[in-house]
Every structure is written in C-alpha cells, then in structure tokens.
Amino acid sequence: MRALGAAVLLLAALPAAPTAAQEAVVEGVVRDATGLVLPGVTVEARSPAAGPPAATAVSDGAGRFVIAALPPGTYDVTFTLPGFETVVRRGVTAGAGSTVTLEVVLSVQLAEQVVVVGSRAQPRSVTASMVPIDAIPATEFVGLGQTDVGDQLRTLVPSYNVNPQPVGDAGRIIRPANMRGLAPDHTLVLVNGKRRHRGAIITWLGNGVADGAQGPDISTIPAIALRQVEVLRDGASAQYGSDAIAGVLNFLLKDDRSGGSVELHTGGHGAGDGGAYTVAAHAGLPGGRAGVAQRRVADGDSAPPRRSVPRGAA
C-alpha cells in the first residue's frame, strides 16, 4: 500500500512538470539617464500576434521588475512612467523555460510649451512701485481730441481736477488744478524731473479749495511736446517736500533729434456758434554730438457763442 501511494503521487506530479518547463520569464532593471533606479514603472509585455492578453508588472524600489509565467513567443515590452518618455522594446523573444533580462533607460520627457491667452488690458499703473504711479504715454493724449494739458489730465487721471473760471481776470488763464481734493500748491509739478516754478497769480473768490493758493502754471506746456506724464497719486512730502502733499506730476518732454509733427483741431458748438481752432507743431533738431534742440509752438482762438436768436428747431 505504501508503494502504491507513492506511485499515485508520482503520476499526479508528472503532468505539471512539462507546463512549468514551457513558461518564460522577462525581468530586468529600469533606470533614468543618470543611472538612478526608477520605481513605479509600469512594464507591459504584449504579443504582436493574436494570442494571450498582455502581462504587466511594476518595478519595485530597486527598479527591478519580473513578468513570470509567459507563454513562449515574441513580445513587445512597453515601459511607462509619468514624466518620462515611453520606451518600447520590440521583438523580445522568450523561449520555453528561458529568462530574458532587460536593462532599460528612461529619459525625462520635456514639457510642451503652454501659451496662455488672456483678455486683460495692459495696466497703466506701475505695479512694481510701493506707491500708486500712473505712466501715461503720449498716444493716449492724441486720442482725446483735446488740446489743453489740464483737460487731458482731468480725463485720464481720476484724482486730478481742473476748475474752469468763466471770469476772473488772469485767473482765467492760469486755471487752478488740484489732486485728491487739495489746493493747487499742494501738488508738485516737475518738467523732466526738474521743479516747475509757481504761477504769479493767487487764486481768490469762488474757487473752493483753490482760494488763496498759488499753483504752477501747466497751461504753457504744449500737449504736442509731451512724451509721457508720470502721476504719483499719493502724498510724497517726505521725499519731495511740503508741496507734494497731494501728489507729484512729472512731465517728460520729447527728445527726438529729428522729425516732428503738426496737429490741427477745429470745432464749435454749432453752425456759427462758438467756433474754435488750435494748431500746434513740434520739431526735433540735433544739437552737437549728443545734444538735441526742441522747437514747439501752439496757437489757437475761439469765437464767442451766438445764442441771442432762438434756433428754428427750438
């Protein structure tokens, strides 16, 4: 009986031996371009011909992988890892009972160029500054249709205001202008970084915050001569003095050594009613080796309105 039992066990084990001998093994190590092992790499062995489904494995902490129990045949072995280029070893032949060893190197995958398209306009304020500074180029002045610098700044700078006076003797010429609701002589005016002198007129009667103030006269600066205007919309008395409590205006003039421009503006309230015109010219000339001479002129006139006779459509 004991010999019979041993014979039965021997016969039961005989069919399994040929099956194990027919299986193949694919193993190896995955590294990067510097030679460091790569864990977590997905390894897939798939037969190009119609056959058994693909067998997969994942590399361990030492970068090693083992795909066992493969039927003999030819396989395409694919290695994938996020952030690295996919590598495919084609035509790997695994014979019956054999072990195929693969040494694979994965290269870092370069990220594709990303182009971000937005609809936000280019900011006018200098974002790198600790204080609010607006840099207004000359192109914004041209598109306003106005010729007076004060009117242009009133349109472009929210905290800047000009108070026109219909009557007031010389105060009509030097219109009081203010920033942040303070008096005109609390705003520092610079021309090319140099302090602009104050006007000779002391504003009085009916000018609100401008009463008793003696501000600079910026109406004599032709708008056609401006290259850029820098506006500091905050108090800067610690840096510039007490006349910069409301802010600072820095007028940068054109410095071209050649060329020029001419502007003509005309208009009126209606046909034969308050017609006006303004003509301005600017030219740049070389002065010596590195110097420059600027010539600017502006002139204008406005006719009085005629409203004593009612209009036909009124």
DSSP 272-283: TBS-EEEEEEEE
The per-residue pLDDT for 29 is 94
Element (H, E) at 13: helix 2-13
Q: What are the 10-residue block averages of pLDDT along the chain, 314 residues in total?
A: 48 47 86 92 85 82 90 90 90 87 89 70 62 83 78 85 66 73 86 85 68 78 86 84 87 80 79 78 78 78 72 60
- Give residue 284's Cα distance to chain centre: 33
pLDDT for the residue numbered 168: 57
> What percent of the chain is helix, strand and coil (3-state, nearest 5)?
15, 40, 45
> Model-level pTM greater than 0.85?
no
Identical fold, 25-106 and 125-253:
no
Q: Give 73's contacts (C-beta < 8 A, 6+ positions apart).
A: 24, 47, 49, 51, 93, 94
Instruction: Say which CATH class 25-106 falls into.
Output: mainly beta
The whole-number pLDDT of residue 79 equals 94
CA–CA gap between residue 275 and residue 246 (Å, rounded): 36
Torsion of CA 199, 205, 206, 208, to 10 degrees: 60
For the domain made up of 125-253, the CATH class stated in words is mainly beta
Domain boundaries, the chain: 25-106, 125-253, 255-309
Beta carbons of 92 and 27 less than 8 angstroms apart = no
Question: What are the CA-CA distances from residue 261 to residues 63, 225, 278, 280, 299 (Å)?
Answer: 73, 10, 14, 8, 15
Q: Indicate the residue type of 294.
A: Q
